[in-house]
Amino acid sequence: MTLPNTLSAAQREITALRARLAIADEVANSLADCVDALPKPDERLCCDGQECGCQGSTVHQRSIHYANSALAAYHASGKDAA
């Protein structure tokens, strides 16, 4: 009779692990984007901000956004709580 309880505990653990993997993927993607942007910090993303809505941002500014996204995902995961 303890089998259903064991299965639900296992399901909860699997769900928690999938959530952690999703956060890890988000952090990894943001950091990969940041690293790709590092060699060209002063380049414009695409235009002067008049055509696409980028507001004339530089690659450096975008890499800061990627790094902040990675940190936000990390903090949201609760891994920094001590």
Per residue in 4-27, pLDDT (tens digit) is 566 688 888 888 778 877 877 887
Predicted local distance difference test score (pLDDT) of residue 82: 45
β-bridge partners, 47: none
Predicted local distance difference test score (pLDDT) of residue 4: 58
Kindly report the backbone phi and psi dihedral angles of residue 55, in degrees, each rounded to the nearest multiple of 5, phi listed first. 60, 25
Per the CB < 8 A criterion, the answer to whether 52 and 71 are in contact is no
The domains of the chain are located at: 3-76
**74 has pLDDT over 70:** yes
Report pLDDT digits (tens) over 13-68: 888 778 877 877 887 887 787 777 677 778 887 777 777 777 778 888 888 887 88
Cα–Cα distances in angstroms (integers) from residue 81 to residues 22, 24, 66, 76, 78, in the given order: 19, 16, 22, 10, 6
Closest CA to 73 of 26, 11, 15: 26
